[in-house]
Structure 1
Amino acid sequence: MDLSLDRMRLALDQLHQPASSIPAVQIVGTNGKGSIACLIHHGLMAAGLRSGLTTSPHLVSWCERIRVNDQLISLAGLRHTLEQLQPVVERCGLTPFEQIICCALIHFEAHQPHWLVLEAGLGGRLDATTAHGKRPLIAVASIGMDHREHLGDSLEAIAAEKAAAIGEGAHVISATQKPEVTAVLERRVSEVHGSMQWVDPLDASWSLGLPGNLQKRNAAVAEAALQWMRSSHAVISDQAIRQGFASAHWPGRLQWMRWRGQRLRVDGAHNPPAAIELARERLSWPSAEKRQIWIVAIQAQKQAPEMLQQLLRAQDVAWIVPVPGHRSWNVEQLRQALPLQAQQLKSADTTGTALDQLLAQGWPEAAPVVAGSLYLIGHLLENGTLEAE
């Protein structure tokens, strides 16, 4: 990882600025970016408009990161574009993420959607999506502590990195943030002579295809973004927005899946703010008061002790497994960091091993939850360990 905008700007110049005439809504933040992007994307489609969406990370295929409406870029198309891009990659030294964003913009140039929906990867100030020059609309997801090794050790520093994506005159939409984040966003909007819109979570009259109470906040940001887009596209009606939100689907977030016919939940929560939201969601489950089995894989640079403190109640058990292909926290490290919860922590070499143990002991009354990393969920789907319902 090498955060910089210089390489992307040079590369886009050499590529003759693909998709530069197409307006984009850029989504920045810590948690909920993918959900907001998904909801905006489905709202545009329901209104009969073409939407070009790029997101990260993917679960199974890199092709998931680039789509126009429901059509993902083909594997052959992605490979061809990457091959054609290689001379620019070598001249500019593009990172893998930058290559994918270049591919997305080239693909969007060819298909000419009405709007681009760009989910920022990490940060904002130096994120590859910020190199797109026409971003009149910025949607802000919940901002919290994550990626401290790249963005800074304080909430203010992290918020400043994300807020720096806001360009001159942009309209910015956000649900309620922590006071430190609110101050940073409002200061940045003032500096660039933009406009700031704060929204409340949607009410119970809305039907959302994305499960979880936390989505009411994300959907409020997406709904306000679509209402703002209506000034240039009158077809974005209230009915279309509701229809789009009801049909939205975003895998790996509070999703029911099956393992050998047994039901379990999966969620990509991978930082303390996401763990807090997941713990809140648990309160609304029918099994809220029952013993919860967690199967958790957390990358080594993440705040695993803080996450487990949020998730674990006194009667719960957490199986600690590695994130495939990534340095990860292990049970010994976590027992040292969490002496009061040490007896609640168990270890398994894979998620499958942990699930085998649960089945041998008698499948728990409350469905287990697999969490901690979207990379883990993607791996389990790709190798067939889990099947989406």
Structure 2
Amino acid sequence: MTIALEQLHQPAQSIPAVQVVGTNGKGSIACLIHHGLMAAGLRSGLTTSPHLASWCERIRINDQLISIRALRHTLQQLQPLTEQCRLTPFEQLICTALIHFEAQKADWLVLEAGLGGRLDATTAHSWRPLIAVASIGMDHREHLGPNLEAIAAEKAAAIGEGAHVISATQEPEVSAVLEQRVGEMKGSLQWVDALDESWSLGLSGAWQKRNGAVAAAALQWMSTRSEAISNQAIRAGFATARWPGRLQWMRWRGLRLRVDGAHNPPAAIELARERCIWSSHGTRQVWILAIQAQKQAPEMLQQLLSSQDEAWIVPVPGHRSWSLEQLQQALPLQAHQLTSAQTASHALDQLLEQGWPESAPVIAGSLYLIGHLMENGSLEAE
């Protein structure tokens, strides 16, 4: 990736970037920072992953997604370099994003890292004075390491010389890794508490106050370099922020349901806490869950399922997934609460036949599933 950017003459190297690393909440933090910059009247270049319905979602300047024509053209232009440097699809997209951001004269870049940090394509950008750290938890163990310390070390390795790092409270093992890395890099580390109730966020979920605190502190740090970023602009941006697929109300055949991209145990814990806010104790909750084969599905279900709940296990389109039989074997005490359907749409059809649940069903486990349902028109945002 470094060689590729050198051969491209370091696109966007003169534009400072805030890099967002972590396990859960990266997209939300990036989204909030992006909207804060827009509210301040600045041009923000945002790159995120994964997308829901279109690859163009991954690269945008303010509210304008890259056009499919521009995306295709740049990727085609990159093909010789892609073959020479053996760039992955994600790396190709980050190269494309940086080329686009330079052409569009962005004031700031907001770069959401992929699954790691040390070897992440976004880390190849040469000017990352600010690192925003989302919650770090157990995920992608097959790539990042078997325990929390190893995973945190891979993500913290994105922190460069002299960087300012902002994080909300982390697990003790993670905090120790961050403190050690920041010390080695002669940077500065700022811990923040969740936002108070005076803040209005356009993103649903109590956990967003934690993500919002990291984003607000990042923007306040950026304001020392740009007078346009006022506290008023930050609050205005946060209030208008939207991030599809994250605890979002949607409709299927006119019926309401919730969708959320929770795909690992820490995210399942947060979703279960949120469920306690919308659902009274003893209320039956129906879950439609699609979980990739490499994920910790049994641990997720243990967090999500109350004794009266029902979970429909469906495949993640285009990916190896946990099956009903595997989960029943892994969770014998909850096996009677699990059933399966060929697709999420089949599960919804059967729920309609049985009588739509009193508490709106929740589709979760994978953003790929949510994106698939949005793309084929099965789900519509409210």
Q: TM-score, normalised by structure 2?
A: 0.99
Letter in 2 for 1:278: L
Aligned pairs for 1:291-306 within 5 A: 291-306=284-299
In 1, Cα distance between equivalents of 2:278 and 2:66: 37
Match of 1:198 among 191, 199, 208: 191
In the aligned structure 2, how far is the partner of 1:215 from the partner of 1:127? 25
Q: Which moved more, 1:237-246 or 1:278-287?
A: 278-287
Aligned residue for 1:376, secondary structure, equals helix
- Candidates 108, 113, 134, aligned match of 1:115: 108
Counterparts of 2:259 and 2:349 in 1: how far apart (Å)?
17
Aligned to 1:63: 56
Q: Do structure 1's residue 374 and structure 2's residue 335 form an aligned pair?
A: no
The reply on whether 1:357 has 2:350 as its aligned counterpart is: yes
The one-letter amino acid paired with 1:65 is R
> Hey, what's the Cα distance between the residues in 2 that align with 1:324 and 1:287?
33
Match of 1:176 among 150, 169, 181: 169
RMSD, aligned α-carbons:
0.6
- Could you tell me which of 279, 302, 314 is aligned with 1:309? 302
Aligned partner of 2:213 in structure 1 is: 220
Q: Which residue identity is paired with 2:213?
A: A
Offset, 1:91: 1.0
**1:324 aligned partner:** 317
Paired with 1:355 and 1:288, the residues of 2 have a C-alpha distance of: 24
- Report the Cα distance in structure 2 between the residues aligned to 1:213 and 1:289, rounded to whole angstroms: 21
Aligned mates of 2:234, 2:224 — CA distance in 1 = 14
* Aligned mate of 1:232, from 209, 225, 228: 225
Distance 2:243 2:171 in 1: 26
Query: Secondary structure at the residue paired with 1:142?
Result: coil
What do residues 108-152 of structure 1 show as CA deviations (whole Å, max 9, x unaligned)?
Answer: 110111100000001100000000010000000000000000000
State the partner residue of 1:5: none
- For residues 292 and 286 of structure 1, the distance between their equivalents in structure 2, rounded to whole angstroms, comes to 8
1:135 equivalent in alignment to 2:128? yes
Q: Deviations over 1:136-178 (max 9, x none)?
A: 0000000000000000000000000000000000000000000
What letter matches 1:156 in structure 2?
Answer: E
> 2: distance between equivalents of 1:24 and 1:204?
29
Paired position in structure 1 for 2:338: 345
- Measured against aligned partners, the alpha-carbon deviations of 1:19-65 in whole angstroms (never above 9, x if no partner) come to 01100000000000000000000000000000000000000000000
Q: Is the 8 A contact 1:282 1:288 kept in 2?
A: no
Q: Give 2:178's aligned residue.
A: 185
Q: Which runs of 4+ in 1 moved over 3 A?
A: 286-289
Residue number in structure 2 paired with 1:3? none
Contact 2:316-2:369 within 8 A present in 1 as well: yes
* Rounded Cα–Cα distance in structure 1 between residues aligned with 2:195 and 2:160: 27
How far off its partner does 1:287 sit?
4.6
Q: What is the CA–CA distance in structure 2 between the aligned matches of 1:149 and 1:213, rounded to whole Å?
A: 30
In structure 2, what residue type is equivalent to 1:39? L
- Match among 262, 279, 286 for residue 272 of structure 2: 279
Q: Distance in 2 between matches of 1:231 and 1:363?
A: 53
| Partner Cα distance (2:79, 2:298) in 1 | 41
Distance 1:110 1:289 in 2: 56
* Alpha-carbon contact 1:201-1:220 (below 8 Å) kept: yes
* Secondary structure in structure 2 of the residue aligned to 1:339: coil
2: CA distance between counterparts of 1:58 and 1:381?
Answer: 11
SS in 2 for 1:134: coil
| Letter aligned with residue 357 of structure 1 | Q
Matched, 1:158 2:151: yes
Structure 2 equivalent of residue 335 of structure 1: 328
8 Å CA contact 2:282, 2:308 repeated in 1: no
2: CA distance, partners of 1:225 / 1:269: 25
Structure 1: distance between partners of 2:312 and 2:97: 38
Shift of 1:289: 3.8
* Corresponding residue for residue 202 of structure 2: 209
Equivalent residue, structure 2, for 1:22: 15
Q: Which amino acid aligns with 1:110?
A: A
1:33 to 18, 22, 26: 26
1:85 to 57, 66, 78: 78
- Residues 288, 51 of structure 1: CA spacing in aligned structure 2 closer, same or farther, 3 A cutoff? farther
How many pairs were matched up? Answer: 382
Task: Give the residue type in structure 2 aligned to 1:293.
Answer: V
Separation in 2, partners of 1:288, 1:191: 48
What percentage of aligned pairs have identical amino acids? 80
Deviation track 1:195-240 (CA, whole Å, cap 9, x = no partner) reads 0000000000100000010000000000000000011101111110
The separation in 1 between residues aligned to 2:262 and 2:34, in whole angstroms, is: 22
Gaps of 5+ in 2: none
Shift of 1:385: 1.0
Between the aligned partners of 2:364 and 2:279, the Cα distance in structure 1 is: 19
SS of equivalent residue, structure 1 residue 294: strand
Give the distance between the partners of 1:122 and 1:260, measured in 2 at CA.
Answer: 35
Aligned position for 1:261:
254
- Classify the secondary structure of the residue corresponding to 1:138: strand
1:286 Cα deviation from its structure 2 partner: 4.4
Aligned residue for 1:149, secondary structure, equals: helix
Gap runs ≥5 in structure 1 = 1-7
Distance, in Å, in 2 between the alignment partners of 1:288 and 1:27 is 36
Check whether the contact 1:287–1:366 (CA below 8 A) recurs between aligned residues. Answer: no
